[in-house]
Amino acid sequence: MQLVFQTPTGQSLENLAVRPSSKLLITSTLSPTLYTLDPTAANATLDEVYTFPNANALTGIAEYRPDVYAIVASELNVTSIMAAPGSVVIWSLDFTSGGTPTPRRAARIPQSALTNGLSTVPGDPDLVLAADSILGAAFEVNVRTGAVRVLIQDAVMAPIGPSGPPPAIGINGLHVRGGLLYFTNTQLGTFARVPLGGGAAEVLGSGEFDDFTFDSEGRAWVATNPGMLTLFTPLKNGTWEEEIVASTVLNGPSSAAFGRDGARERKILYVTTRTGQIVAVDTSGAHA
């Protein structure tokens, strides 16, 4: 593992997406500004891309069309870890012109208490799924029309309850794969999945989980507190093998995404942390 960048102030970094060039787009719950960083540069710098209006925090980000990204912006109360009523907006940021990216308000989620992770929906580039960590729900958001509906709401997505210890963060990261919605629940400490069309949820493992990503072999790499990654490998008998990847470098990992530009980059896992780190993890030695 290699430390690529450390914010001078230790500013918490929340989520990231990787552009086709392998440049990173990074969000923070302490800023309405989207940042970018070239992890392959000799002296990487964290540069501002766009500052979203009427917000003080950014959470989830997902590439729903080539080099076009959905981003969650809100007015977040860092004490209660809840968004101000009516403040949650899904923005679209389009980089395809090659110049300054074009922003567009794609949807509002006025009923959301805390929109966290985002996922694309394979086969439908107009849709993203948004995790509401307080309501214990996954919203389906049409980024073309602005239509929003609750797709799945389940007890296994919810936090322990509103009277539980703050922050009461239930469903956090989420990704769609093979007709299943995979997700972490931070307060319950679970990694689970549920059919998109409805059905019983299945818990695959437990730990202090945040966001995650899948690799090309279908394995899940989950950011795990206080300073680890958990690798979930699907086995032929339908179960999942769980392996802890410990590190003295990671401090409060929050999300992970693989590089894209070239065979080597596709084996590099980039991890953000709540202590302002961006870390590169070479996964080429992690064989199935």
Question: Is pLDDT at 74 greater than 90 in this prediction?
Answer: yes
Tokens standing for residue 66: 């080539």
Is pLDDT above 70 for 71?
A: yes
Angstrom distance (rounded) from CA 4 to CA 87: 33
What is the rounded CA–CA span in Å between residue 10 and residue 28? Answer: 11
Mean pLDDT, residues 125-147 taken together: 97
Which residue shows structure tokens 């977040």? 76
Phi and psi at 105, nearest 5°, equal -70, 115
What 3 state SS string does the chain have? Answer: CEEEEECCCCCCCCEEEECCCCCEEEEECCEEEEEEECCCCCCCCCEEEEECCCCCEEEEEEEEECCEEEEEEECEECCCCEECCCCCEEEEEECCCCCCCEEEEEEECCCCCCEEEEEECCCCCCEEEEEECCCCEEEEEECCCCCEEEEEECHHHCCCCCCCCCCCCCEEEEEEECCEEEEEECCCCEEEEEECCCCCCEEEEECCEEEEEECCCCCEEEEECCCEEEEEEECCCCCEEEEEEECCCCCCEEEEEECCCCCCHHHEEEEEECCCEEEEEECCCCCC
Residue 43 to residue 28: CA distance in whole angstroms: 21
Residue 220: the pLDDT is 98
pLDDT for position 288: 45
Cα–Cα dist 69/65, whole Å: 7
* pLDDT score of 12 more than 80: yes
pLDDT tens per residue across span 163-206: 555 568 999 999 999 999 999 999 999 999 999 988 899 999 99
Please give the average per-residue pLDDT across 237-265, as a whole number.
91
Mean of all residue pLDDT scores within the chain: 93
What CA–CA distance (Å, rounded) separates 94 from 69?
6
Residue 64 is encoded by which pair of tokens? 């729903």
Residue 19 has pLDDT above 70, yes or no: yes
pTM of the model: 0.95
60 closest CA partner among 154, 132, 146, 4: 132
For position 284, what pLDDT does the model report?
A: 86
Domain residue ranges of the chain, discontinuous segments joined by +: 1-47+207-288
pLDDT at 128 over 50: yes
Judge whether residue 161 has pLDDT over 80: no
Strand-strand pairing, 240-246 and 228-234? antiparallel
